[in-house]
């Protein structure tokens, strides 16, 4: 066993590349200019990158604010020492409003019912109103806006807590097909005009996530909410194809494990649960101590790939809860050698997008399902 192998302390870990993160922040700063705020979307455990590690890194990269899914996540960031604005973009139950106000976490209101549930002025947090401009998910419909305006005018203490208005684009994924995004922006601008006419003239306006930010400046408004792009990944293959020559994004996350055991099994041997795979030759196998509990999906059974010493090794049989078996017949391997599940190993690289597609999902889902207990290491 090599000296390098003896230094292994973890059986699986996730690495975050500081320089790649800084590069991505600069890329989006250059795109939006100085007048637009850059908010980092760190919901869902920072898309699998680790809420604490990633948010601390983004704070040091001088991000203007953070977007989370819940008040709980916002309070955790305050506990980390982050003082910048934090916006909850998911719904908040009424019982959470007092905690949001106490910790200066801004909430989003997506319906008249939520607006009525804000409570008294001392318990009410600062809030942004979310408008449904055509995605038909969360958000107040434009035809309900007059009811919301009337309610706020009758409650001047709540009116003072009304800080921003936003929407979310449903299909900002292609430079050449912006029609629906244009339609949503038109509806949103009409809502802003109605709010201004009602006396709400200094609201923070925001609509663009990563896709909208990449599409063009008209969508940037006062702030952009960038998630997948800051992690160095594209929101759609269309935008990558259209923009990658002039916009550079660098993946931040890599995921690694180790070989825990190497053994030889004969041709015709059955591998794993349910005996779903039979070897077609005398086979050298490596046991890797990760599985679907860690975030390596069961859908990658018999088709997933890992890298060892820069060479691909295919998953044999079922992905178990905590273990996968890979074919290393043609790979020089020893116990405790590094295994790469996402990222670069030698001259080869496994992209989150590619492994997600192989497993029948998207890189969004694949990354957010990486187990939050796996240690995140900055490098």
Please say if 43 is a catalytic residue. yes
8 Å CB contact between 40 and 55: yes
Kindly compute the dihedral angle of the four CA atoms of residues 195, 200, 203, 207, in this order, to the nearest 10 degrees.
0
Angle made by CA atoms 146, 149, 151, in degrees to the nearest 5:
110
User: Residue 126 and residue 356: Cα distance in Å, rounded?
Assistant: 38
Q: Which of 11, 43, 161, 173 is catalytic?
A: 43
Q: Which of 84, 176, 273, 284 is catalytic?
A: 273
3-class SS string, the chain: CCHHHHCCCCCEEEEECHHHHHHHHHHHHHHHCCCCEEEEECHHHHHCCCHHHHHHHHHHCCCCEEEECCHHHHHHHHHCCCCCCEEECCCCCHHHHHHHHHCCCEEEECCHHHHHCCCCCCCCCCEEEEECCCCCCCCECHHHHHHHHHHHHHCHHHHCCEEEEECCCCCCCCCCCCHHHHHHHHHHHHHHHHHHHCCCCCCEEECCCHHHHHHCHHHCCCEEEECCCCCCCCCCHHHHHHHCCCCCCCCCEEEEEECCEEEEECCCCEECHHHCEECCCCEEEEEECCCCCCCCCHHHCCCCEEEECCEEEEEECCCCCCCEEEECCCCCCCCCCEEEEEEEECCEEECHHHHHHHCCCCHHHHHHCCCCCCCEEEC
Q: Which residue has the tokens 């600069």?
A: 26
Q: Which sign does the torsion angle of CA 272, 277, 280, 284 carry?
A: negative
Catalytic amino acids?
43, 273
């Amino acid at each position: 066993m090599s000296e390098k192998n003896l230094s292994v302390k973890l059986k699986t870990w996730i690495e975050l590349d500081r320089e790649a993160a800084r590069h991505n922040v600069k890329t989006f700063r250059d795109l939006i200019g100085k007048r637009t705020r850059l908010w980092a979307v760190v919901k869902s455990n920072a898309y699998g990158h680790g809420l604490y590690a990633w948010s601390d890194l983004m704070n040091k990269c001088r991000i203007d604010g953070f977007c989370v899914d819940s008040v709980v996540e916002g309070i955790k960031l305050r506990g980390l020492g982050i003082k910048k604005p934090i916006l909850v973009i998911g719904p908040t139950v009424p019982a959470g409003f007092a905690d949001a106000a106490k910790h200066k976490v801004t909430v989003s209101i997506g319906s008249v019912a939520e607006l009525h549930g804000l409570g008294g002025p001392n318990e009410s947090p600062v809030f942004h109103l979310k408008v449904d401009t055509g995605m038909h998910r969360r958000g107040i419909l434009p035809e309900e806006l007059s009811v919301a305006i009337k309610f706020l005018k009758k409650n001047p203490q709540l009116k003072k807590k009304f800080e921003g208005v936003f929407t979310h684009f449903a299909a900002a994924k292609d430079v050449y097909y912006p029609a629906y995004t244009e339609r949503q922006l038109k509806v949103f601008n009409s809502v802003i005009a109605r709010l201004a006419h009602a006396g709400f003239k200094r609201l923070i306006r925001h609509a663009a996530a990563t896709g909208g930010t990449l599409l063009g400046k008209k969508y940037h408004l006062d702030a952009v909410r960038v998630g997948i792009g800051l992690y160095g990944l594209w929101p759609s293959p269309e935008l990558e194809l259209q923009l990658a020559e002039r916009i550079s994004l660098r993946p931040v996350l890599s995921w690694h494990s180790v070989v825990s055991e190497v053994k030889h099994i004969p041709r015709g041997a059955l591998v794993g649960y349910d005996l779903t795979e039979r070897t077609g030759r005398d086979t050298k196998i490596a046991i890797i101590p990760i599985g679907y509990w860690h975030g390596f999906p069961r859908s990658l059974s018999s088709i997933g790939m890992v890298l060892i010493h820069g060479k691909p090794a295919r998953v044999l049989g079922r992905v178990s809860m905590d273990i996968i078996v890979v074919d290393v017949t043609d790979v020089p391997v020893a116990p405790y050698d590094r295994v790469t599940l996402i990222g670069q190993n030698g001259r080869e690289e496994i992209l989150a997008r590619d492994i997600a597609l192989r497993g029948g999902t998207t890189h969004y889902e694949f990354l957010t399902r990486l187990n939050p207990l796996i240690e995140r290491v900055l490098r």
